[in-house]
Amino acid sequence: MFEREHLVPQTSVLQTTTPRTAAKVPLAESSILRAYAAMTPGSARLFARADGIFPNGVTHIGRYLQPHPLYAERALGPRKWDVDGNEYVDYFGGHGALMLGHNHPAVIEAVTAQLAKGVHFGASHELEIEWAELVRELIPCAERVRFTVTGTEATMLAFRIARAYTGKSKIVRFAGHFHGWHDQVAFSGAELPAGIPAAMASSILIAPPGDIAHFRALAEASGDIAAVILEPTGATFGHVPLPAGFLAELREITARLGILLIFDEVITGFRCSPGGAQGHYGITPDLATLAKVIAGGFPGAALAGRKDIIGALEYKDAGARQPAVPHQGTYNAGPISAAAGIATLRLLRSTDLIARANRAAAAIRDGLNSILRRAGVAWSAYGEFSGFHLFTNPDNEPVTPEQIQAGEVSWTKLKGGTPLALSHKVRTGFLLGGVDVVGWPGGVVSGVHGRDEVDRTLTAFEKLLPMLSDEGEIG
């Protein structure tokens, strides 16, 4: 449905195994960045103000872009417009939250109705029950639900509960998997970033992603592992795919050794299927963290899981001063987020929006790969479900998308392979063609991205390749 033929500019024909030799044009001299700057004077003006207030002039490092970030003014469906009136196909999708696209009428209607009734009652309310009932109906492991506001809080709470429930102290994470920004998850190797206490390194064990033998040996050797957490489609929504069978083996080992299995479904929840990745794969974890889609673009997240484990949050008797595991939060289960979440989850339950998003993403991946193959560029587009990723192949090795998808390419190459300068050129180059991709580079597709969006994306990519070639970035 989304397929079409593409003409490939002759200037971009490159050899797949030849090392890059041409000197790369530095960002300050890049004509791609210059063209982007010429197209976005309004963004430049706003950035001049922001630069004196925010670190790097931005409020999220994922939005950092040279010579200046894009300043959006409005958005609708799969598109957004910047302050200069330029229109873009949007692959940020509210950092993955907008499975229904921007301003879906059902969400706007529900939120508007709730705004008139109240934004924060400081009391229990019916919408929070309906929201949690939907989560319980859709997500297989969700016998009990506790709402938080962000995914970061949900993973933090998951670790606390896992330690309290098991009486063990260590959490295993996989290198490259993203679980937010709190101290326990903000490092991937032995070297801790500034500001993170050294003690964190002894309570968090970091395992190589996708290596089940390593995990099995680690788990069998230590009697002190409370839980293992992972992104069930591989790091960053499949940016680093897992080998086949990994999840099933992980489930078997953790069940046998009394280690809790936590799926971080902050991105995959209600996206891979209405039941998240666990619903799709038929593998049920003990706990799951949910955010993004769960609240339809508003702030909202949850920890869901087995009732005996989540029960650690309960008062045990009338004499207790506090539950075994304390957890508060001013904005937990806010009624506006609940209203948006309910409208979103109902639609995802009853329509084919997830399948539509998957089809559009597959058409983008196929289209990008056919352009790359015809141009002889040794990059790959890959991914699953409603995501796409571009492997920019730093060593110019002969690698196929199938090999990446099978988990045969190292996570450091996939996740750290694109230097910031190239990422900036890819992003600004796509913006010139009216497409806003995320910096890894890649994107997240919604249920309302259709053929027009796919075509515009592929056309932008066809124009981008010769520009990158001219700047010594490919070939």
Ligand X SMILES: Cc1ncc(COP(=O)(O)O)c(C=O)c1O
Q: Binder to ligand X among 93, 94, 180, 383 (CB under 6 A)?
A: 180
Nearer to ligand X, 333 or 378 (CB): 333
List the one residue out of 370, 461, 353 whose CA is nearest residue 3: 370
Strands 170-174 and 204-207 come out as: parallel
Nearer to ligand X, 79 or 177 (CB): 177
- Residues 228-247 interacting with ligand X (rule: CB under 6 A): 231
- Tell me, letter by letter, the H, E, C secondary structure of 128-147: HHHHHHHHHHHCCCCCEEEE
Both tokens of residue 65? 């872009």
Q: Return the residue nearest ligand X (CB atom).
A: 151
Compute the distance between CA of residue 176 and CA of residue 229 in angstroms, rounded to an integer: 12
Binding mask 357-396 for ligand X (x = CB under 6 A): ----------------------------------------
Contact residues for 65 (Cβ-Cβ < 8 A; gap 6+): 424, 427, 428, 439
Stretch that binds ligand X, among 81-89, 107-115, 175-183, 455-463 (CB under 6 A): 175-183
DSSP states along 173-228? EETT----SSTTTS-SSSSPPTTS-TTHHHHEEEE-TT-HHHHHHHHHH-S-EEEE
* Minimum distance, C-beta of residue 294 to ligand X, in the bound complex (Å): 10
Q: Binder to ligand X among 12, 30, 86, 150 (CB under 6 A)?
A: 150
- In this structure, are residues 250 and 263 in contact, taking their beta carbons and an 8 Å threshold? no
Compute the distance between CA of residue 82 and CA of residue 121 in angstroms, rounded to an integer: 35
Compute the distance between CA of residue 319 and CA of residue 325 in angstroms, rounded to an integer: 16
* Minimum distance, C-beta of residue 266 to ligand X, in the bound complex (Å): 3
* Minimum distance, C-beta of residue 96 to ligand X, in the bound complex (Å): 6
Nearer to ligand X, 62 or 282 (CB): 62
Residue 240 is classified by DSSP as B
List the one residue out of 302, 461, 387 whose CA is nearest residue 92: 387
DSSP three-state, residue 470: helix
* Minimum distance, C-beta of residue 176 to ligand X, in the bound complex (Å): 11
Nearer to ligand X, 150 or 396 (CB): 150
Compute the distance between CA of residue 230 and CA of residue 383 in angstroms, rounded to an integer: 17
- 291 forms part of the interface with ligand X (CB under 6 A): yes
Binding mask 297-316 for ligand X (x = CB under 6 A): ----x---------------
- Residues 70-129 interacting with ligand X (rule: CB under 6 A): 95
Q: Binder to ligand X among 173, 179, 424, 456 (CB under 6 A)?
A: 179
* Minimum distance, C-beta of residue 237 to ligand X, in the bound complex (Å): 7
Distance of CA 297 to the CA centre of its chain: 14
- Say how many CA atoms lie within 13 Å of 235 toward its Cβ: 24
Q: Binder to ligand X among 12, 152, 284, 469 (CB under 6 A)?
A: 152
* Minimum distance, C-beta of residue 163 to ligand X, in the bound complex (Å): 19
DSSP three-state, residue 303: strand
- In this structure, are residues 218 and 250 in contact, taking their beta carbons and an 8 Å threshold? no
* Minimum distance, C-beta of residue 320 to ligand X, in the bound complex (Å): 30
Nearer to ligand X, 155 or 393 (CB): 155
User: How many residues lie near ligand X (CB under 6 A)?
Assistant: 14
Compute the distance between CA of residue 323 and CA of residue 311 in angstroms, rounded to an integer: 9
Q: Binder to ligand X among 267, 378, 381, 390 (CB under 6 A)?
A: 267
Stretch that binds ligand X, among 1-9, 177-185, 420-428, 457-465 (CB under 6 A): 177-185
Nearer to ligand X, 180 or 429 (CB): 180
Q: Binder to ligand X among 94, 101, 151, 442 (CB under 6 A)?
A: 151
* Minimum distance, C-beta of residue 245 to ligand X, in the bound complex (Å): 21
Binding residues for ligand X, per CB under 6 A?
Answer: 95, 150-152, 155, 178-180, 231, 264, 266-267, 291, 301
